[in-house]
Chain A
Amino acid sequence: MSARVGVVTFPGSLDDGDAARAVRVAGGEAVRLWHGDSDLHGVDAVVLPGGFSYGDYLRTGAIARFAPVMESIIDGARGGLPVLGICNGFQILCEAHLLPGALTRNSHLHFRNRDQWLRITATNTAWTNSFESDQDVLVPLKSGEGRYVADQATLDELAANGRIVATYQRGNPNGSERDIAGVTNEAGNVVGLMPHPEHAIEALTGPSLDGLGFFTSILKHLAGASA
């Protein structure tokens, strides 16, 4: 039986369809979850997709964090449920305090939409174990509030404990502290990533197939967990 990976749809989610497709292309079963339904339907992992949940009102992710489905995901994540937040999903995870820091307006104020090189700097998480250490990958980035910030002590701790999952290469697109594109929690089950691996899984539409690694990683992780 293939692993069941939930993909949440909030009002204003954009990339839930692509995220579900990425799960399927990787060989998993995608289960669509609705923001207003606190039942996770027994999924083995959850993806919070990109978009503009609740219109980005107040702050990005600030309202989504209180959606009924999030209460269940927050409880689950604290118990080890793997959760990947992409772009707006990353913002939601920071607002929910499942990940440290916050995502703020790009330093140059411009929306950035481009194919972006990243270096995968932590391969011991539930979502990155298929990558080689320090592997460079090319995936689309599309965000206006992607600048990762945290206080110096938090940044030092993230760096010292291998919790910076990905860094921007060949130019920092948004002014993120220490070129951070993604981070993980202490346990490695929760990962937030600003760029979009779900858009880089097929040659027809993506700049590479590199994004698939995040989705094969979770299936590998779940297969190992159940073995």
Chain B
Amino acid sequence: MARVVVDVMLKPEILDPQGQAVANALPRLGISDVSSVRIGRRIEIEFAGAADPERVREIADKLLANPVIEDFTIQEVAEPAAEAEAVPAGDPA
């Protein structure tokens, strides 16, 4: 089984009003040294067998991202078993 992560981001020249709204909220947390926030989307795909890079690229280019306004990157990642060892964020223990 192969696991592939596709990250989709708005192209740099496309206005990201959601990112701006988040950046504008940060001072309320007392954080004043952030100059920019941009929001994207992470998509995890699992293949039953091996991942064919060409097919992953086709999925990303034709459906997951709109190349008119977005860029994407593809990375194959290790088996999800590694997740079990991850410590949940904010766990008081």
Interface residues of A (CB under 8 A from B): 58-59, 62, 66, 94-95, 100-102, 104-109, 147, 149-151, 175
Contact = CB atoms under 8 A, between A and B. Distances in A.
Residue of A100, A101, A102 with highest tally of chain B CB at under 10 A: A102
B68 interface: yes
Contacts of A101: 68
A107 B17 contact: yes
B78 interface: no
Given A58-B63, A58-B64, A62-B63, A106 B69 contact: no
Contact of B14 (A66, A94, A109, A149): A149
Q: What 10 A-B pairs come out closest when comparing CB atoms? A: A102-B68, A102-B69, A109-B17, A107-B17, A105-B17, A102-B66, A59-B66, A109-B21, A107-B15, A149-B14
B16 to A, nearest CB: 8
Contacts of B13: 151
Dominant secondary structure of chain B at its interface with chain A: loop
Given A58-B63, A104-B14, A149-B15, 11 more contacts: A59-B66, A62-B63, A100-B68, A101-B68, A102-B69, A104-B15, A105-B18, A106-B17, A147-B15, A149-B68, A150-B68
A84 B20 CA distance: 33
Contacts of B69: 102, 104, 149
B13 to A, nearest CB: 8
Contact of B68 (A66, A94, A175): A94
19 contacts: A58-B63, A58-B64, A62-B63, A95-B66, A100-B68, A102-B66, A102-B69, A104-B14, A107-B15, A107-B17, A108-B17, A109-B17, A109-B18, A109-B21, A147-B15, A149-B14, A149-B15, A150-B68, A151-B13
Nearest to A100: B68
Nearest to B41: A58
Contacts of A104: 14-15, 69
A109 B63 CA distance: 24
A126 to B, nearest CB: 24
Contacts of A109: 17-18, 21
Nearest to A108: B17
Contacts of B14: 104, 149
A62 B66 contact: yes
A175 B66 contact: no
Interface in B2-27: 13-15, 17-18, 21
A175 to B, nearest CB: 7
A59 B63 CA distance: 9
Contacts of A107: 15, 17
A93 B17 CA distance: 23
Contacts of A151: 13
Contacts of B17: 105-109
Contacts of A95: 66
